[in-house]
Amino acid sequence: MVDWPTRMTQLDRFLGRFTRLRPAEGRSVVAFFTYALLMMLSYYILKTIREPLLLTGTSAEIKSYAYAATAAALLVIVPVYGFVFRHTGKQQLTRYVTAFFLLNLLLFWLAGRSGLDIGFLYYVWVGVFSVFITAQFWGFAADSYNVKSGQRLFPLIMVGATLGGLLAPSLTGALFPSVGPWLLMFAAMILLALTLPLVGWARRLVPPGSQGAGDVPGERAHGGFWGGLALVFSDRYLFLLALLILLLNWVNTTGEYILAELVVRQADAQLASAGGIPKADYIAAFYGTFFFTVNLLTLLAQVFLVARVIHRLGVGGAALVLPLISLVGYGLVAFFPVFSLIRIVKIMENSTDYSLMNTTRHALYLPLTAAQKYEGKTTIEAFFWRFGDLAQAGAIYAGLHWLSFDIQQFALVNMLLSIGWLLVAYKLARGYRAKEQAVSLNHPPRLVRRPGQRVLVPGQPFEFALPLDTFVDPDQGDVLTFSAHGEGSDVLPSWLHFDPETLGFSGTAPAGDWTGSRIVVRATDFDGAWAEGQLLLERGAPGSRG
């Protein structure tokens, strides 16, 4: 512990306005924040331009089948990923995967500029890209931080991802009519390439006491994709995580179909009216505005609400919020299937998903082993995430061609799925609490140096500080906050000032008949456990020393 940083930097103090930080954690947060920002700027540019590339010449039904094709593609790609993972280090793997997707983008860019129709294939590729690029980032982050640090810092790191999602769609929607998709795709390639040097830098900046535990001796290894599946099906907690992801994505993508169907109807209606704009421009403008609104709300929630919600409800409790929103939202749409309502429901659903649920989803892996974080997480987010796409594609096909469903019926299906999703989230929340206690049972702070007493001369100014190791927290990744108050009171005397960062006291000792004061100094950890010590301030004669 003597080598751990003990002084808060200016950056730590600034970021500490949004969540509690240990000394020197601010630099690592900025590194992961920048990585996430560049990654999501690139992704959202690619995601926004894929909509008009696909929907301009086809229907929303084809979009649902593209999700299913993505799930099928992952069955081929994930075993290759597992092979590369077993033969490279974690940082090298991240660089190799990023370089692979950069090569893919170059090929799409060349094919698109030559006039080839890449809409469907590119749509599928973006789905694969989103799974791997985000899963490897958050697996890497979860492996870099311990449980308590990750719970505190993931909401701040997610702000970078959210900010990228806020800026990219609005700019893409505005620029698409004038510059077209190919220049935007090239810009996304540059942004993605800038993440490569951040991989090692971010890992190195995580300070001692905040770092992950690393590999566990004797931990069972699972090789390849099938090893990941065996791991998921043999562990109840991972299986519940897989069900959560499956139901989350099934509900969300069915909602995307409902929204896309109504967007296409609106585009066709305005095109048929006098002065209508081209269909592709309308769709690009709508999704640009839609993504901007979603991500603006996401950013506000991420900065001001997520850390507080997780602190108050816990990671497990936070997992219940989104299924409740979906249950209520799609219940309303089932009875009032109008464009304005589904737009509001999807904005609320997506903004909560991208802020609170996204942070919670990644934090749910914090108390797991390295094999569960990498093999389990990759399997769940690649296979089970896209299996939800496959399930919704089958449901969309059956609903449209066998059951003649319209918007209302699909909304009712989503409402029923949300009930099952809520039950799974409840069981997962209980499992998380048990695992968190097993790996990081909270221990209260300890008073290791009694404050003792100080002699103050009446009418004379004074300044002193308690040693920074007066209190010690035995939990790695935890953070202490300090306060002081008078004995029998909730506040300090008016003549006494306390600096909670340096444990410093200053002021001017009162004159008159003052004989002394007892001050209670308290250290509180992130979970609310605390320890106290008493500081005795005594009256002294001129020339006496405290």
Q: Locate 356 and state its tokens.
A: 């609170």
Three-state DSSP class for 44? helix
**pLDDT given at position 497:** 93
Sheet holding 452-456: strands in order across? 452-456, 530-539, 516-524, 481-486
Residue 396 neighbours by CB distance under 10 Å: 25
Report how far Cα 508 is from the mean position of its chain's Cα atoms. Answer: 47
Amino acid 218: pLDDT: 43
Alpha carbons within 13 angstroms on the beta-carbon side of residue 526 total 26
Dist CA 484 CA 499 (whole Å): 9
- The CATH homologous superfamily for domain 19-208+224-440 is MFS general substrate transporter like domains (1.20.1250.20)
The confidence score (pLDDT) of residue 505 equals 93
Q: Per 3-state DSSP, what percentage of the chain is helix, strand, and coil (rounded to 5)?
A: 65, 10, 25
**For residues 206 and 29, what is the distance between their CA atoms, to the nearest angstrom?**
8
Q: What is the pLDDT of residue 272?
A: 66
Residue 476 tokens read as 């790695």
Q: What is the pLDDT of residue 477?
A: 60
Q: Name beta bridge partners: 508.
A: 461
pTM above 0.95, yes or no: no
What are the residue ranges of CATH 2.60.40.10 in the chain? Answer: 446-539
The CATH fold assigned to 446-539 is Immunoglobulin-like (2.60.40)
- Per-residue buried b or exposed e for 347-364, using 16+ beta carbons within 10 Å of the residue's own CB: bbbbbbbbbbbbbbbbbb
Q: Two tokens at 138? A: 């958050």
Phi, psi of 469 (to 5 degrees): -100, 25
pLDDT for position 216? 45
Which residues are 533's β-sheet partners? Answer: 521
Cβ contact 173:289 at 8 Å: yes
| Beta strand pairing call for 471-472 and 504-508 | unpaired
| H or E stretch at 533 | strand 530-539
Q: What span, in angstroms and rounded, lies between the C-alpha atoms of 247 and 255?
A: 12
In the DSSP assignment, the letter for residue 452 is E
Residues of the chain with CATH 1.20.1250.20: 19-208+224-440
Cα–Cα nearest to 23, from 41, 11, 32, 35: 11
Q: Which helix (H) or strand (E) holds 504?
A: strand 504-508
pLDDT in tens, the chain (546 residues): 445 566 778 888 888 888 878 778 889 999 999 999 999 899 988 888 887 777 665 666 676 677 678 777 877 777 777 677 667 766 677 788 888 999 999 998 898 888 887 778 888 888 888 888 888 888 888 888 888 888 889 999 988 887 887 788 777 777 777 777 888 889 899 999 999 989 889 888 888 777 776 554 444 445 545 666 778 888 999 999 999 999 998 999 899 888 888 888 878 777 767 566 777 777 878 887 887 888 788 888 988 899 889 888 989 999 999 999 999 999 998 888 788 888 889 999 999 998 899 899 988 988 887 667 767 787 787 778 767 767 887 888 898 889 888 888 999 999 999 999 999 999 999 999 888 877 766 678 888 888 888 889 888 899 999 988 888 877 766 678 889 998 888 889 889 999 988 889 999 988 878 888 899 999 988 667 889 999 999 888 765 555
